Structure 1
């Protein structure tokens, strides 16, 4: 039995223990004397940037979410505006009961300045309604840059009506960063209270933050979605895939018979259609390579893991599977790859074959930019 039972890590919420360094929540006994209790994993993330992964139980995290249905609370659903489809929680509407939902779309800072915020907000609201969720309000913000955080604070206080607040979302949408930013804006602390990192699944258990009226803000573990590419990338390569700066769209005028490689993670073959633009909205650090379709297989086999990277270890990624996409030509459309980004296509009829790791979500939508 661990010598410590009641104490939880203030960074990730997991119960701390002093006996098994290889298990979650380990903390040296000496460290228990510190004012701020951090498990060894959180300590290493904060001070050394160590992004080591831990075993996660997606079903356990969903059970935590299901418990919200039995409460009378305000649910703040945080989604990633850059990866909306990949950051939506499956079956969300049936898991939170009759509790009101405040929808917060994070990472608006990644979008070009030319993006229409009202259009983005309306699109997020409409997409949520299509998923069966009718939020009391929809807000855009950037927890990393502090954009529109006062608006989020005001909305949370207005809609909670004296209730607890649950902050929920999938891994890596920025929930914990948002809470840290809210605490700083409220004047509580300038330090990072909840551990954050680029690696999915940093928060391992619920973290409760008391409010002045006796209620709480509850940060929940991120829901794991294995159908997005970012969940499969090695932690050391994740910074190449997940954007952290304003997107610089790359425009490719393609004729049919040409291919785009997105690192070694995905491939788009333009099979049939007239010359038209394909604009990539992905991390600025991700290498995009254009070539002829006739040479694509040879280049893929020869250069994946080297020129075409990440991943450096292709064996760590599921084998590729083909998605045939027919562009209607009626409107501009986006081809969305969960956890990677999207390709905005021109307004011409076309046939595209998209190759992504097996199980990764692929979808199309009317262009949002």
Structure 2
């Protein structure tokens, strides 16, 4: 056995979930550090890192699957009689959408849950956001039985989610699905805490696993909430930024909108990861809804390209200097504004354009969506 791989003759399965143990890729199923593997072999009990953290800290971690593995899992779910809870990121709808989910889950109803509602400004009407999510879901071929907003960090929101799940599951199992980085496991952990209480956390023996590394949380009627591994979407901000930069652009508390009075031919840079051009139109206020920690830099449109080339990774961060080498090029998306609208940068936030008649452009890393929607503020 080397430090990077296990030989075929040394296939070891996790005692907790049955996954094949591997020590080469911590993002994949069955990962355990080589030191932990050695200790486990000495004890005769080897656990993957996910099961270890679940057993010792009641912490559920996302585990990613390949597209093929995930489709196999979805096909299996389609043969069950269950409620499907599809968790998405309010700030990254396009990046957290699972293409074709409706046809894979068969006749099972889908409850669409937008996470991170606690980060939205208080001025924002939740009813508008819920309606927008419903419309986008319909455009993508999803027909959810209901759409709701929740927050993994707010207990009253989790309580409401539990009640909604109970309303629609009708005595069935519940499968929670979602792509990586949407907060799915945080919601599962919050449900555990809400159900069991801080002083009496559910013990790990109550969480059986399967070879696909599902985690089952038992319900009072003998059914279960089943946490499934997250699928990787390469068009998420999480795959173009390092961990520190991802934390910087991910809001941690309620967003405080920033207002900029712009004339035509002016540009706003959001660090070095996105850009907004006001190309043509009447001078007016533009409102930015993004992480409070993200630096926004204003310049003239005519200087924008040169500024980016010279300052990305320095004045314009993120990305950081040591990470800009492999950072994707920014791609331009132009929009003609016909009503008060939001220009949405997937996984980052949005800019509200107040007045019709404006022509604007949003730039984002290659593969990351920039879309327009009717303003939700």
> Which TM-score bucket, shorter chain as reference?
0.7 to 0.9
CA deviation after TM superposition for structure 1 residue 209, in Å: 2.3
CA distance in 1, matches of 2:25, 2:139: 43
Matched-pair contact (CA < 8 Å) for 2:65–2:231: no
| 1:5-51 per-position Cα deviation (integer Å, ceiling 9, x unaligned) | 2523xxxx67263x7466642233435869995618975xx99xxx9
Matched-pair contact (CA < 8 Å) for 1:228–1:340: no
Query: How does 1:130-279 map onto structure 2 within 5 Å?
Result: 130-187=139-196, 205-279=213-287
Q: Which residue of 1 aligns with 2:6?
A: none
Find 1:343's aligned residue among 351, 355, 368. 351
| 1:217-248 per-position Cα deviation (integer Å, ceiling 9, x unaligned) | 21112222222323311112210111111111
CA distance in 2, matches of 1:346, 1:261: 19
CA deviation after TM superposition for structure 1 residue 271, in Å: 1.5
Instruction: Flag the 1:94–1:22 CA change in 2: closer, same or farther, 3 A.
Output: closer
Instruction: Flag the 1:153–1:267 CA change in 2: closer, same or farther, 3 A.
Output: same
Q: Which residue of 2 aligns with 1:364?
A: 372
Instruction: Flag the 1:275–1:237 CA change in 2: closer, same or farther, 3 A.
Output: same
SS in 2 for 1:129: helix
- Corresponding position: 1:82 with 2:91: yes
CA distance in 2, matches of 1:250, 1:227: 26
Instruction: Flag the 1:322–1:41 CA change in 2: closer, same or farther, 3 A.
Output: farther
TM-score when scaled to structure 1? 0.84
- Corresponding position: 1:15 with 2:19: yes
| 1:90-111 per-position Cα deviation (integer Å, ceiling 9, x unaligned) | 2222121110111222111001
Q: Which residue of 2 aligns with 1:327?
A: 337
CA distance in 1, matches of 2:92, 2:156: 18
| 1:237-278 per-position Cα deviation (integer Å, ceiling 9, x unaligned) | 210111111111111111111111111111122211111222
Instruction: Flag the 1:171–1:55 CA change in 2: closer, same or farther, 3 A.
Output: closer
Q: Which residue of 2 aligns with 1:316?
A: 326
TM-score when scaled to structure 2? 0.82
RMSD: 3.1
Aligned residues: 348
Gaps of 5+ in 2: 1-8, 205-211
Find 1:111's aligned residue among 120, 128, 150. 120
SS in 1 for 2:269: strand
**Which moved further from structure 2: 334-343 or 136-145?**
136-145
Find 1:127's aligned residue among 112, 121, 136. 136
| 1:69-108 per-position Cα deviation (integer Å, ceiling 9, x unaligned) | 1211110111222322332222222121110111222111
Find 1:91's aligned residue among 77, 84, 100. 100
Larger fraction in helix: 2
CA deviation after TM superposition for structure 1 residue 54, in Å: 9.2
Matched-pair contact (CA < 8 Å) for 2:15–2:45: no
- Corresponding position: 1:65 with 2:80: no
CA distance in 1, matches of 2:24, 2:367: 34
Gaps of 5+ in 1: 195-203
